[in-house]
Copies of this chain bind each other. A is one copy, B any other.
Amino acid sequence: MLSGYLFKNIRTTQRLLRNFSSDAKFFKVRKPSRKQNKLGLEKEKRRKNKLQSTQFFYIAARARSPYQEVEVVSNNRKAPLQTQRKSIAPRFEKKTRQKISDYLKQMATPEIEAQLAPLRAAVKEYGDLIRDLKAKQAPKIDIDKAVVELKARKKLLEETEIALAPKEASFDRLKLEDLLKRRFFYDQSFAIYGGVTGLYDFGPMGCALKANMLQQWRKHFILEEGMLEVDCTSLTPEPVLKASGHVDRFADWMVKDTKNGECFRADHLIKNSIEKLMNVSKIDKKVSAEIKKDGEDVLARLEGFDDKDMHEVITRFKFKSPITGNDLTEPIAFNLMFPTQIGPTGDFKAFLRPETAQGIFVNFKRLLEFNQGKLPFAAAQIGLGFRNEISPRQGLIRVREFTMCEIEHFVDPEDKRFPKFAKVADEKLVLFSACNQLDGAPAREVAIGEAVANKTVANETLGYYMARCHQFLMKVGIDGRRLRFRQHLSNEMAHYAQDCWDAEILTSYGWIECVGNADRACYDLQQHYKATNVKLVAEKKLPEPVDVDIVEAQANMALLGKKYKKEAKKIQTALQQLTSEQVTAIEAELVAKQLYNLDINGEKFELAPDLVNIKKYSKKIHVQEITPSVIEPSYGIGRIMYALLEHSFRQREGDEQRTFLAFKPLVAPIKCSILPISANDTLVPVMDAVKEELSHYELSYKVDDSSGTIGRRYARTDEIGIPFGITVDFESGKTTPYTVTIRHAETMSQIRLEVSELGRLISDLVSGRQQWSDAQAKYPKFEASAE
């Protein structure tokens, strides 16, 4: 059957050459060209191409990073053609070894590390010896002998690394990207117009995969946990995002080329420029050790830099535009929200929401009412988010428009226990706590119950959602060995956040944050209360009524109006929002100084005693008003989907050209293929019976009755991740009841069974009620004649 494959490859190459011709323009214009402005997208394209060339340069200078190299090739969009031209790496060629090293650094279990440690020590021993011999100016023969031994030890280390390496360490992103593009899982948006970075369109397979993931998410969270789902608008008025802090703080620092205005993300520019400097220093010994150390220091601290720090570094190192060599401006804050206006007047400013959460917060009162006033409850939203990234790369990992799923769990701040926590307490998660990060210790597998008990994780509710997050990611097919929960360090968290654990998934881009699980305290509701003066609180019944002493500051509106005109209302509101303690303090100051300076967001208002009446009284209260705490799990669906594609990607052993996607049947875009062994009419009644059986169980299928060999058709359906192939052969119709074979794509093993048993079996396999091994145990094995 190999001939089928060779044929396929030639055909594929031809098709690729033909298909990509429409994009050829895009590939060719690597150097900015004045002739390319026909479509109006030229500027953006030029900027992009420049960035690519730049990156390429950096990469060339640090060619030791194998992933980066792959990434650049793919960015330059030569990927599909090159795949065809190059001969394929045997497992494991040199480049692959570096990937394995990289994976091992991230994924090595303590057992693997234990096996490698003596080998590493052995290498180091000879490294040290040689350095020592050279320093002593020992005879050349001694040094040469030591070098031979060093090489042998190095080889042993490498070979052991390879032997211990997980298979997925040899992952080839180039091949995955070729498959995803060719079978239109997703691809760059508006490609015939030159494309837009950071925007992707999903084709039929990507769309179905995404829809299935969302359906599982809805089932796993909204239905199983009885959450209140809402669907709010993307368009969001400015005051809402002002209150949430996004208008002021949702920004990246950017520097501009002083001459041509080209923009660079400041932290990326510094990182790339320093890395370039370091690489140069390897060749050019004139770069002093001091500068090198300084650079390393900057890289280590870069995450915490503000604009002044970055400006200082750019000035001190004399960094210029990597494209033109021109000077750069000081860092400018660039807000990542897309601005627009609502209505025709142009003065109603709005943004596209950067997250779906705010829609839930502003509906808090309605949701609490829907829940009959009771806490805790959770609301959830599945929808679009928009972020105007400065220069997005990394495919689906960093995009400008994306689907996210967010949960806001509202809970009594003084009681964050979770009734169903016991159900998940024994669930083991890989936790990379802040402590472990600071100690340089690796992530550890811990039962979530233990982690909450010993306060590693702040509370039961947060712990419960982390466990459910883990379950969800496993359910859709993320590889558990490439998943960890990383706690935010205190300097990473917003000041109001009490704890935060990101579910990070290891991909060829490194560990990627795919889900955030944060305890945001009561920050969001309080901010919207401050902005609107609408109380966003729940009532908690007190065990028994209590008398409380109330101290209130009431504005004397008549006098206040005279003095402050239209500002009076604002002052009144500010006074209403004060706590009893604050009012008592004001009273003291009014008595002492006959004056109090009220500060409203930086504006000062002088208040004389006659403008404010301090009122004190006692009140019996039966309920306590509380602003709920918010636990927020937030899922980036595109990122999870990309990780899932990497983790599901396989190459057939012995024929690494033959790639496929081994999805969990639950999320596979199409569940079955129906393949008649030939176009013979005698097969038609069986085909019809199969279709009817599958439809009865609402199982999606794809008929491939094209003229290719059965092996070629299997390969084509394997590529789009169809888990089960139903083959109708000449035996099928010979007896009644009809029989067919089912082929399991991942293992290529086959069984034979009656058509009437198909629906239930495949339903069970899809839902996970049965595994393929169960089916193999129950039904006779079928030996395929050939693939």
User: What residues of chain A have their CB less than 8 Å away from a CB belonging to chain B?
Assistant: 15, 19, 22, 34-35, 37-41, 43-44, 47, 183-184, 187, 189-193, 196-204, 206-208, 210-211, 218, 223, 228-240, 242, 254, 261-263, 334, 338-345, 347-348, 352, 359, 362-363, 365-367, 369-370, 372, 384, 386, 388, 390-391, 400-401, 528, 531-532, 534-536, 566, 569-570, 573, 700, 706
Bound CA–CA A210/B218 (angstroms): 14
Known: A40-B238, A348-B44. A184 touches B233 (CB 8 A): no
Chain B residues within an 8 Å CB radius of A531:
39, 193
Contact of A400 with B231 in the complex, beta carbons under 8 Å: no
Contact of B334 with A390 in the complex, beta carbons under 8 Å: no
Bound CA–CA A208/B366 (angstroms): 16
Contact of A203 with B363 in the complex, beta carbons under 8 Å: yes
A372 (CB) vs chain B CBs: closest residue: B706
Bound CA–CA A547/B99 (angstroms): 56
A264 (CB) vs chain B CBs: closest residue: B344
Cross-chain contact of A192 among B47, B339, B362, B573 (Cβ < 8 A): B362
Contact of A532 with B207 in the complex, beta carbons under 8 Å: no
Q: How far is the CB of A197 from chain B (nearest CB, A)?
A: 8
Contact of A204 with B184 in the complex, beta carbons under 8 Å: no
Contact of A401 with B235 in the complex, beta carbons under 8 Å: yes
Contact of B348 with A201 in the complex, beta carbons under 8 Å: no
Known: A39-B532, A208-B229, A237-B193. A344 touches B334 (CB 8 A): yes
Chain B residues within an 8 Å CB radius of A343:
44, 47, 197, 263, 388, 390-391
Contact of A201 with B35 in the complex, beta carbons under 8 Å: no
Known: A39-B531, A532-B39. A344 touches B254 (CB 8 A): yes
Contact of B201 with A228 in the complex, beta carbons under 8 Å: no
Contact of B386 with A235 in the complex, beta carbons under 8 Å: yes
Q: List 13 A-B contacts (CB under 8 A).
A: A40-B238, A47-B345, A196-B237, A199-B233, A199-B235, A201-B230, A203-B366, A204-B367, A235-B386, A261-B345, A262-B345, A263-B343, A342-B400
Contact of B235 with A400 in the complex, beta carbons under 8 Å: yes
Contact of A340 with B362 in the complex, beta carbons under 8 Å: no
A39 (CB) vs chain B CBs: closest residue: B239
Chain B residues within an 8 Å CB radius of A340:
338-340, 352
Kindly list the 10 A-B residue pairs having the minimum CB-CB distance in the complex, ordered from nearest: A202-B231, A263-B344, A201-B232, A204-B228, A207-B229, A192-B534, A40-B239, A338-B340, A199-B233, A192-B532
Q: How far is the CB of A346 from chain B (nearest CB, A)?
A: 9
A332 (CB) vs chain B CBs: closest residue: B344
Contact of B234 with A363 in the complex, beta carbons under 8 Å: no
Q: How far is the CB of A778 from chain B (nearest CB, A)?
A: 22
- A43-B347, A199-B235, A206-B231 given; name 18 further pairs at CB < 8 Å: A15-B369, A19-B369, A22-B365, A22-B534, A35-B569, A38-B570, A40-B242, A189-B232, A192-B534, A199-B342, A201-B232, A202-B232, A203-B230, A204-B230, A211-B218, A234-B384, A339-B340, A372-B706
Q: How far is the CB of A186 from chain B (nearest CB, A)?
A: 8
A191 (CB) vs chain B CBs: closest residue: B362
Contact of A203 with B228 in the complex, beta carbons under 8 Å: yes
Q: Most B CB atoms within 10 A — which of A238, A363, A365?
A: A363
Contact of B344 with A43 in the complex, beta carbons under 8 Å: no
Task: Identify whether the interface residues of A are mostly helix, strand, loop, or mixed.
Answer: mixed
Contact of B386 with A184 in the complex, beta carbons under 8 Å: no
Bound CA–CA A35/B242 (angstroms): 20
Contact of A43 with B348 in the complex, beta carbons under 8 Å: yes
Q: How far is the CB of A277 from chain B (nearest CB, A)?
A: 25
Bound CA–CA A762/B348 (angstroms): 49
Contact of A184 with B388 in the complex, beta carbons under 8 Å: no
Contact of A365 with B192 in the complex, beta carbons under 8 Å: yes
Cross-chain contact of A363 among B40, B201, B262, B391 (Cβ < 8 A): B201
Bound CA–CA A210/B200 (angstroms): 25
Chain B residues within an 8 Å CB radius of A384:
234, 384
A215 (CB) vs chain B CBs: closest residue: B215
Chain B residues within an 8 Å CB radius of A228:
203-204
Bound CA–CA A208/B229 (angstroms): 8
Bound CA–CA A206/B363 (angstroms): 14
Chain B residues within an 8 Å CB radius of A344:
254, 263, 334, 388, 390
Bound CA–CA A263/B347 (angstroms): 12
Q: How far is the CB of A420 from chain B (nearest CB, A)?
A: 15
Known: A22-B365, A35-B566, A338-B340. A233 touches B41 (CB 8 A): no
Q: How far is the CB of A667 from chain B (nearest CB, A)?
A: 15
Chain B residues within an 8 Å CB radius of A240:
190, 193
A43 (CB) vs chain B CBs: closest residue: B347
Q: How far is the CB of A356 from chain B (nearest CB, A)?
A: 11
Contact of B184 with A367 in the complex, beta carbons under 8 Å: yes
Chain B residues within an 8 Å CB radius of A569:
35, 38
Contact of A239 with B41 in the complex, beta carbons under 8 Å: yes
Contact of A370 with B184 in the complex, beta carbons under 8 Å: yes
Bound CA–CA A199/B342 (angstroms): 10
Bound CA–CA A363/B700 (angstroms): 24
Bound CA–CA A438/B228 (angstroms): 50
Cross-chain contact of A233 among B201, B242, B262, B532 (Cβ < 8 A): B201
A227 (CB) vs chain B CBs: closest residue: B204
Chain B residues within an 8 Å CB radius of A206:
231
Bound CA–CA A236/B196 (angstroms): 9
Q: Most B CB atoms within 10 A — which of A15, A240, A242?
A: A240
Bound CA–CA A222/B367 (angstroms): 34
Contact of A342 with B184 in the complex, beta carbons under 8 Å: no
Contact of A230 with B254 in the complex, beta carbons under 8 Å: no
Q: How far is the CB of A568 from chain B (nearest CB, A)?
A: 9
Chain B residues within an 8 Å CB radius of A536:
192
Bound CA–CA A229/B700 (angstroms): 14
Cross-chain contact of A365 among B15, B19, B201, B236 (Cβ < 8 A): B19
Q: How far is the CB of A706 from chain B (nearest CB, A)?
A: 8
A381 (CB) vs chain B CBs: closest residue: B207
Cross-chain contact of A367 among B200, B203, B211, B359 (Cβ < 8 A): B203
Contact of B401 with A233 in the complex, beta carbons under 8 Å: yes
A364 (CB) vs chain B CBs: closest residue: B192
Chain B residues within an 8 Å CB radius of A235:
196, 199, 338, 386, 400-401
Q: How far is the CB of A180 from chain B (nearest CB, A)?
A: 12
Q: How far is the CB of A386 from chain B (nearest CB, A)?
A: 7
Bound CA–CA A339/B384 (angstroms): 18
Chain B residues within an 8 Å CB radius of A366:
184, 187, 203
Q: How far is the CB of A418 from chain B (nearest CB, A)?
A: 19
Bound CA–CA A192/B531 (angstroms): 9
Known: A196-B237, A344-B390, A700-B223. A190 touches B362 (CB 8 A): yes
Bound CA–CA A727/B359 (angstroms): 36
Bound CA–CA A606/B563 (angstroms): 73
Q: How far is the CB of A18 from chain B (nearest CB, A)?
A: 9
A366 (CB) vs chain B CBs: closest residue: B184
Known: A22-B365, A184-B367, A344-B388. A237 touches B190 (CB 8 A): yes
